Structures are given as C-alpha cells and as structure tokens.
Structure 1
Amino acid sequence: MPEHAPLFTQRDAAFTLDRIETFILRYPLREPVRTSFGVMHSRPALLVRVTDHHGATGWGEAWCNFPACGAEHRQRLIDDVYAPLLRHRAFEHPAMLFEQASRQTTVLAIQSGEPGPMSQALAAIDMAVWDMCARRSHQPLWRYLNGHRDRIPVYASGLNPTGSDALVEEKRQAGYQAFKLKVGFGHDQDLQTVSHIRSLIGEQSLLMLDANQAWTFDDALTMAEQLATWRPEWLEEPMRADTPLARWRQLAEHSPIPLAGGENLTGTEAFNNAMDCWLKIVQPDTAKWGGVSGVMQLIPDIQRRGLRYCPHYLGAGIGLLVSAHLLAASGGDGMLEIDANPNPLREWLCGPLARLQAGHAQLGDAPGIGITPDIEQLQRQLPH
C-alpha cells in the first residue's frame, strides 16, 4: 500500500439510524490490574449496537476503565444525550455523524466538565456506524477503509512490575515477540523490573515501557537516561499528559528513548501540536476519542511527519478489533497493543486476534470487524 494512500474511498455510506442500544458487561478479577494511578478490580465493557432503517447493524465500544462506575456513566450519556440526537437523522457518511455530533455537543461537554466521557461515548457510536457500513458492503472494515493488507504485528502490554514471569512465558508460547512493561513504581524497583523482563524476553524481542504519567520532568529525564540501557522501543507517557509543550519538547530533546503517547490527547489540534513538538510514537485510542472518524483524520498527518502509528487500547474485544482494522488500513509499520492480562471480555470477542503467527495477527475477510456479539450468551458466561 502506498504510504500516503487515502483511507476510505467508498461511496455507498449513506445511512439513517433507527436504534442505538447499549450493553454493560463486567468480569470480576481475581488478580487486580495495577497502574501507577489506580487499580482495576473488574474488567468492564460498554458495547454499543446501532441499527439502520434497513436493519443493518454494527458494533462499537466505549472506554470505561476508570472510575469504577465509568461504564454506567457513559451508558447514560449515550442513552440520554447521543441517541436522541442521532436517531432518525440521515447521514451521507459516518464521518459526517461524528463531525456533527461533536459540534452539537461541544458546549454541553464544556459546561458539564465532561469532554472526556462524552468523547468516549461518541467514539463507541462512531465505531459501530463504521462497522455497520462495512458489513452492508460485505467487506471487512480494513478493506472498506481502502486498506490492502490484513496482517498486522502485535505486542503484549500491561505487564505488571511483579508476578509477570508466567505471563511473559505464556505470551511467548502464544506467538508474541514484543512486550510492554509498566513502570513508575519507584526508581530502584523500575530498574530491577526492566532488567528482569529484558532477561526473560531475550535480546531479540522488542521491549516497550509505559510510565502512565507517573514522573516529574526531572524524574522522567533521569529515568529515560538510565532505562536506555535495556534498549526500549519507546517510553510511554513519562509525564502527565497536561504537562506544557515546552517541557515535553525539552524532554524529547534529551531523552535517549523515543517518547510515545496519545491515549490522553483529544482532538486533531492537540495531536498535531504534540507531533510537532515531542511525540514520535502516536497512540490515539479509538475508544477514548475519535472512533474511526477522528483517528482516520490523524493518520495522514502521522505519516507525513514520518512518525509511527501504534494505537493504544485497553478494553474488551470490540474496540480492539476496530483498532486492528484501522491499523491494517493505515499501511504503516505500527504495532497493535493487546493487553496481556486475563480479560474474558477481550478473549471472547477478539476473533482472529486470539491466533498469532510469528508475532502477527491476520484479520481475514469477514464483513465489518468480523464478529457479532451474542449479548445473552455473554451475560450467561459472566460469574454471578
């Protein structure tokens, strides 16, 4: 695929939505998922199903990991704000829905202090509409977006600072050849953990590091210099996402490790400013902002700058599949993030991403994202 080939060239994209439905699933965890800023005691999923006036359907997913009531909160935003706004309206193109809904709710998001949650709710609807349109055209989403390949490299993320030995071995046996470790738990522990994980995965596997906004500028600079010993591909979110651009530029100029981020950026302007200033590995999260429509607008800007698009994702299988198809359509050299920690809501819904070969997944030719959730069956499988 040419490096700057345009995404999406279809013309049969007009639709009118009759229904927008939401479903919450939650799987309790025996072993909590820990980050530098919080702990997850369950794996939630807020799934969205859209249906057009001809009966075609599509599926999306909203980011809802934090706080613990996040899924219920985003569900109400979809049911009470977006569904009444978008039902029974004609749209010529999924991106038109995204643009109009964004514009019509911007002031509400500002007034209520809810730009993040509202972006996440709209992202889920946007994903579902793209999935629906691809299914109507009997094409996989990656091809519907003008992609020319369905094979993508992946990496296992979310490795915790302790107790990851068995998980690393499990993922190596499953075909993973790249791993991302969480840091930000203290200077000495971070250095020891990175050294240990590097020895576990070997010199040929790729290693990435994610600090989850844990450090000050001085700490980030010190840690970047010391962590470079283990040759990580990137250092993700070493400082708070709202750190002034001048500080990010200064860190990027002195860090021996390329800086990654984007899951906590919202809007094309914020991404373009970051890319011009410090960001080398660009990680928008389709379930947090933009869905397909917003992220699709970023990809040409990423490619034009010679940067790397590696979508962020930490949720259930629907949003993960959307991210995979968008990455495949982009045609770049990015990798897909797949959380290594146990999550049945990802495992039950990720389709072909459960099967790897030499560190790659193949998406196939099934229409849309390739799977159709059976909500009743999923609910029966959840622990009660």
Structure 2
Amino acid sequence: MIYKTEVKDARFPLEGNAGSDAIHRDPVYSYAVTQLLDSGGLVGTGFAFTLGEGNELVCQAAHYYAKKLVGLDIEDLMADFGTFYKSLSDDQQFRWLGPHKGVVHLALASVTNACYDLWAKKRGVPLWKLLTDLSPEAIVNTLDLSYLEDELTKEQAISILTEQEAGKSDRESILKTGYPGYDTSVGWFNYSDEKVRENCHKALSEGFTAMKLKVGSADPERDIRRAHIVREVAGDNAKVMLDANQQWNLPNAISICKKLSSMNPYWIEEPTHPDDVLAHQTLAKEIAPVKLALGEHVPNKVIFKNYLQANAAAFIQVDAVRVGGVSEFLTISLLCKKFGIPVVPHVGDMGQLHQHLVLYNHMGMGHEALFLEHIPHLQKHFVHPARIRNGVYETPQEPGSSCDLIKF
C-alpha cells in the first residue's frame, strides 16, 4: 500500500553551452520528482522534465495529484489505471488549468511515471519486461482512450496488440543486441563550428551512426554551413538530423528547409510552432521528400491524433516526461502504430525511462527499432544510468524504470 508521497524539485545546471538550442539558450535541466513510498519498503520514482524556471509549479501540482494515491495498493491501481488516470486528468477544477497540457499535465506525468516504476519494482522486473509480459487487455486497461474513439477504440487497441503477439519472440532479439542510439550532443546551438566538428568525430569513434545538429540561427547561412560540416564529417551513410526547436514561421521554414535539403537530412525537427498542425501539413508537402519530425512540445494525445490525421509528420517524438506519462506515451504509440508512423522519442529523461519504452514499443507493438536519442549530461545523477556502448543502449536489468536519482 502507498502510505506516503513526496515531491522534490531537482535542478542540474549544465556547463559549456550544453543543452542550448535556437529558443532555449541557457537551460537548467530540471525534474519535478514524485516518490511513492510503499508499505513493503519500495519507493516508486517518476518525474517530469523542465528547463528550470517554473519547476516548482510542476512540483506543487504533482503534490495535488500524488496525495490522491495514499492508501492505494499499486497492483489494484494498475489493474485499471486508465480509469484512475482519466479521473486525475479530468479533475473538475484542476483540469481548467490545462486541460491536458502545461503545468498540470507535466505534474500528471511525474505522478504517473512513479506509479509505473513502483509497479515494476513490486514485481521485481525492469519496466520493459513488465510491459512486455502483460496481456493486450492488461496493457489497454492502463490507458485512457477518451477523445480518440474516432480513430482508436479499446477493441481496436486490443486487436493491434494481439496481432503483434505472433512475432514478439522474434523481436525479443533486441534485448541481446541492444537498442540503437543517436547522439544529440554533437551540435548544441551555442557550440562553435570547431566544437561541432570535433564532437562529430568523437561520436563516430564512439560507434554512433546517427547524430543531430541544432539549427534556427538568425542567419540561415550559419545553419547551412554547420549542417554541411556534420555531413562532411559523418559521411553520406550516416543519418544526420536537424532540429530548429520551433524557431521559424511557416514562410521561413519553407525557404530554409529547401536550402538545407542539399545536405540530405534524415529529418528536420520542430520547424515551427507545435500547435500549428496545418502549417506542418503545408510544410511537409512543400519540402518533400525531406521529412518532418515533431512531438517534443506536443502536449497530449489529441494533438498527436490531429498530426497523424493530417499526415503532417513522418516521425513522432512523443516524450513520456512531457505528455501525461507512460500511460499517454503508450496510447500515442498505439495511435502511431495504426497510422504506420515510427515513434522516436524525445528523451527529456536523458534516455532513462525511454530505453524501457522503446523496447516495449518494438517487442510488444511491432514498431521498428529505429534509434533512441542519447544525451549524457545527467548520467552522473542517476543510480542506474543508461549504458551506451558502441552507439547502442544496453538493455537495463534492474527492477523499475531506471529513474532513481542519487540523493540531491
């Protein structure tokens, strides 16, 4: 039984321009951390990700949600978690502050993720194994499919998962080979050209075959020059992604993306405002065959549904510490499976939680094991940091979701 909850504000300043992009020039990587203390001596840990300012607001909202868990048994809770999740996200007064977005939704992510971590620890297994071993019905019982009924009913969700049961054992080979990673830290926005070149060589030496560069400069020629530096160092066979972090309006995005196409980007990420579905739909048509990726700042399943319906993105980057947690992440992954769109998460957790979720997405849902973003800057703060070797995530073996932080 959950007898006590704690919510903590954890902030980790970065050094040397790490984490910078075209919009967020001076980030402080931060977590609103929820801990669920179980009478059996276990502690479930979950968090939401922010860039510093306002983290305390997310913590306050998480405390409001977390106190509703006191007195509940984690197994009973997770047997029908979708219903409980909906009751929290649709809290009659608190919902007004969203709905399903912003501070309150980040807080819900923190609490939800702590529930999944405690559940896996209670069963003594890593989260990826807990999810993979669940029946399709049990998985769907943890999800809230409201507002998706026009595209994904409960019966359809169960059917999608049931169809994937046949090939699951073959896909479990990923546990031995590891999940491929890509390096985001080669090209933070404030890095010099020389630093970008140096980091690209370093990434290649560490076994990465895919890497990402931050773009969105006031002078587009800077972006073009730096993109060609990465392509030159990485070679024609490497996957090179470009990330504008919402910097451009639609006319600028069309113009600049067409110019950037000369270096053959694997995708261009977050080119304009994340709420503007129709702008992304227009842009996707204008710059084809260059592909768009998005999702880092898309707040909920409904907006993701709209993006999928509009054929506005070729890659979905849903983040379980930005939407309403693991439950909504899995819901959106199911939507993507139906639409045939790959899920390549943004890792606001630095890969800790998401290494479990992409393994389940591949084994349980049949998503392609494409690659997972790797950002190393907070590794030293985790009890069990994600392990990367030769550009590949090694399969985590410890019970839980790898989200326990060293005392802060």
Q: 1:339 aligns with which of 368, 375, 381?
A: 375
For residue 372 of structure 1, report the CA deviation from its aligned partner.
4.0
Please list, as runs of the form range in 1=range in 2, the aligned pairs for 1:157-236 lying within 5 A after superposition: 157-158=184-185, 159-161=187-189, 162=192, 163-185=195-217, 186-236=219-269
Q: Cα–Cα, structure 1 residues 356 and 35, in superposed 2: closer, same or farther, change >3 Å?
A: same
Cα displacement string for residues 118-159 of structure 1 (whole angstroms, at most 9, x for unaligned residues): 111110111111111111112211111117343211111142
Tell me, yes or no, if structure 1 residue 17 matches structure 2 residue 23: no
Between Structure 1 and Structure 2, how many residues are aligned?
Answer: 349
User: Could you say if the C-alpha distance between residues 276 and 329 of structure 1 is closer, same or farther in structure 2, counting changes exceeding 3 Å?
Assistant: same
Aligned partner of 1:141 in structure 2 is 127
Mapped partners of 1:241, 1:141: distance in 2: 30
RMSD between superposed Cα atoms in Å: 2.3
C-alpha offsets along residues 201-222 of structure 1, whole Å, 9 cap, x if unaligned? 2222210111111111111111
Q: TM-score w.r.t. structure 2 length?
A: 0.79
Q: Are the aligned partners of 2:34 and 2:47 in contact in 1 as well (CA < 8 Å)?
A: yes
Contact 1:314 1:338 in 2 (8 A): no
Q: Give the superposition deviation at 1:182.
A: 0.7
CA contact (8 A) 1:176 1:356 kept: no
Deviation of the 1:350 alpha carbon: 7.5
Show CA shifts across 1:159-218 (max 9, x none). 224232333333333322211111110311111110111112222221011111111111
Name the stretch that deviates more: 24-33 or 201-210. Answer: 24-33
Residue 321 and residue 30 in structure 1: after superposition, are their counterparts in 2 closer, same or farther (change >3 A)?
closer
CA 111–298 in structure 1, closer or farther in 2 if over 3 Å, else same: closer
Amino acid at match of 2:331: Q
1: CA distance, partners of 2:55 / 2:30? 7
Q: Residue 278 of structure 2: SS of its match in structure 1?
A: helix
The one of 244, 267, 275 equivalent to 2:300 is: 267
Greater share of residues in strand? 1
Deviations 1:248-271 (A, max 9, x none): 222111213111111222222211
Work out which of the residue numbers 386, 397, 406 in structure 2 matches 1:365: 397
Distance 1:323 1:189, change over 3 A: same
Q: Does 1:77 align with 2:31?
A: no
Which residue, 102, 119, 122 being the options, matches 2:89?
102
Cα distance in 2 for residues equivalent to 1:130 and 1:191: 43
Q: Secondary structure at the match of 1:31?
A: coil
Q: Deviations over 1:12-44 (max 9, x none)?
A: xxxx42222223333333323322222225332
SS at match of 1:146: helix
Instruction: Determine the structure 2 residue equivalent to 1:119.
Output: 105
What is the aligned partner in structure 2 of residue 305 from structure 1? 339
Match of 2:324 among 290, 294, 318: 290
CA distance in 2, matches of 1:370, 1:238: 31
Tell me, in whole angstroms, the C-alpha distance in 2 between the residues paired with 1:20 and 1:314: 23
Verify the 8 A CA contact 1:97 1:126 in the aligned structure 2.
no
1:323 to 349, 354, 364: 354
**In 1: Cα distance, 2:200 partner to 2:113 partner:** 31
Match of 2:275 in 1: 242
Deviations 1:272-316 (A, max 9, x none): 11012112100111111121100111212211211110011234x
> Which blocks of at least 5 consecutive residues in structure 2 are unaligned?
134-171
Maintained 8 Å contact 1:18/1:53: yes
1:114 Cα deviation from its structure 2 partner:
8.9
- 1:310/1:335 contact within 8 Å kept: yes
The normalised TM-score by structure 1 is 0.84
Q: CA deviation at 1:57?
A: 2.0
